Chains A and B, each alone.
Chain A
Amino acid sequence: MKITDVVNRVDTQEKIRGAAQYIEDIPFDNLHYARTLRSTLPKGKILKVAYPRGFPGITVVDAGDILARNEVSMVTTDMPIFADGEVNYVGEAIALIVGRDKDEIIAFMKGIEVTYDPGTPLFTCDDAEENLFTRRHYSKGDLASLEGLEVFEGRYRTPYQEQLYMEKQGVVAEVKEGVVEIFGSMQCPYYVVNALKNALDYPEEKIRVVQTVTGGAFGGKEDYPSIMACQTALAALKIKAPVQLVYDRREDIQFTTKRHPSDITIKSYYREGRIEGMKIDVGIDAGPYLGLSDVVLQRAILTMTGAYGVPHLEVSGTVYKTNNIFNGAFRGFGGPQSLFALESHMSQLAARLGVDPLDFREKHFVHQGELTSTGGRFHEEIHLEEMTRILKEMSGYPHLARDGRGRLVGYGVAVVPHGGGFTGDGEAEHIKAVVKLRKDTEQFIHILVSNVEMGQGALTALSKIVASALDVPMERIIYKNPDTRLVPDSGPTAASRTTMVVGRLLYDAALKMKDALEEREEVVVTEHYHQPAYLAWDQENLRGNAYLSYSWAALLARVEVDPVTLEVTCTDIHGVYDVGLPIDEKMLLGQVHGGVIQGLGYGMMETMDSKEGLIQHNSFSSYAVPTTEDIPAIHTRWLINPYIEGPFGAKAAGELTLVGVAPAIATAVADALGREIYEIPVLPEKLLKVVKS
Chain B
Amino acid sequence: MTMVSFIVNSKPVTLETDLSRRLLDVLRDDLGLTGTKEGCGEGECGACQVYLDGDLVNSCMVPMANVIGKSVLTIEGFSETEAYRQIEAAYIEEGAVQCGYCIPGMVMATGALLRSNPHPDLEAIKDGLSGNICRCTGYQTIFKAVERASKEEVKK
Let me know if B88 and A597 touch, CB within 8 A.
no
Q: Which of A22, A248, A629 contacts B101 (CB 8 A)?
A: A22
A137 within 8 A of B: no
Let me know if A166 and B39 touch, CB within 8 A.
yes
Chain B at the A interface: SS class: loop
A216 within 8 A of B: yes
Q: Which of B32, B126, B141 contacts A629 (CB 8 A)?
A: B126
Let me know if B135 and A164 touch, CB within 8 A.
yes
Let me know if B138 and A596 touch, CB within 8 A.
yes
A471 within 8 A of B: no
Chain B neighbourhood of A593, CB < 8 A: 137-141
Within 8 A of A (CB), among B1-59: 28, 32-42, 44-45, 47
B73 within 8 A of A: no
Within 8 A of A (CB), among B113-156: 125-127, 129-130, 132-141, 143
CA distance A213 to B93 in the complex (A): 21
Let me know if B137 and A590 touch, CB within 8 A.
yes
Within 8 A of B (CB), among A196-247: 213-218
Binding stretch for chain B, among A289-297, A450-458, A501-509, A510-518 = A450-458
B71 within 8 A of A: no
Q: Which of A18, A626, A627 contacts B79 (CB 8 A)?
A: A18
CA distance A586 to B33 in the complex (A): 31
- Chain A nearest Cβ from B151, distance in angstroms: 18
Within 8 A of B (CB), among A435-467: 454-457
Chain B neighbourhood of A27, CB < 8 A: 32
Q: Which of B37, B75, B126, B139 contacts A597 (CB 8 A)?
A: B139
A50 within 8 A of B: no
Let me know if B140 and A167 touch, CB within 8 A.
no
Let me know if A17 and B135 touch, CB within 8 A.
no
With contacts A593-B138, A628-B129 taken as known, whether A216 is within 8 angstroms of B93 at the C-beta atoms is no
A25 within 8 A of B: yes
Chain A neighbourhood of B141, CB < 8 A: 589-590, 593
Let me know if A620 and B42 touch, CB within 8 A.
yes
Q: Which of B41, B92, B98 contacts A248 (CB 8 A)?
A: B41
- Chain A nearest Cβ from B65, distance in angstroms: 18
Chain A neighbourhood of B100, CB < 8 A: 11-12, 15-16, 20, 213, 215, 455
A642 within 8 A of B: no
Chain A at the B interface: SS class: loop
Within 8 A of B (CB), among A20-61: 20-22, 24-25, 27
Give the nearest-CB partner of B41 in chain A.
A249
Let me know if B92 and A21 touch, CB within 8 A.
no
Let me know if B98 and A13 touch, CB within 8 A.
no
- Chain A nearest Cβ from B3, distance in angstroms: 20
Give the nearest-CB partner of A14 in chain B.
B100
Give the nearest-CB partner of B95 in chain A.
A586
Let me know if A166 and B95 touch, CB within 8 A.
no
Chain B neighbourhood of A457, CB < 8 A: 98
Q: Which of A164, A587, A595 contacts B95 (CB 8 A)?
A: A587
With contacts A167-B37, A620-B42 taken as known, whether A590 is within 8 angstroms of B95 at the C-beta atoms is yes
A116 within 8 A of B: no
With contacts A215-B101, A590-B95 taken as known, whether A18 is within 8 angstroms of B34 at the C-beta atoms is yes
CB<8 Å pairs between A and B, sample of 14: A9-B95, A15-B103, A17-B76, A25-B34, A166-B134, A167-B99, A214-B99, A457-B98, A587-B95, A589-B95, A592-B138, A593-B139, A597-B139, A620-B40
Q: Which residues of B are interface residues toward A (Cβ below 8 A)?
A: 28, 32-42, 44-45, 47, 74-76, 79, 88, 91-93, 95-104, 107, 125-127, 129-130, 132-141, 143
**New contact pairs (14) apart from A166-B37, A590-B141, A628-B139, CB-CB < 8 Å:** A9-B92, A12-B92, A12-B95, A16-B100, A17-B79, A215-B37, A586-B95, A590-B96, A590-B98, A590-B138, A593-B138, A598-B135, A621-B42, A626-B138
Q: Which 6 A-B pairs have the closest CB atoms?
A: A18-B35, A455-B99, A15-B100, A215-B101, A593-B138, A597-B138
Q: Which residues of A are interface residues toward B (Cβ below 8 A)?
A: 8-9, 11-13, 15-22, 24-25, 27, 163-167, 213-218, 248-249, 454-457, 586-587, 589-590, 592-598, 619-621, 625-629, 631, 634
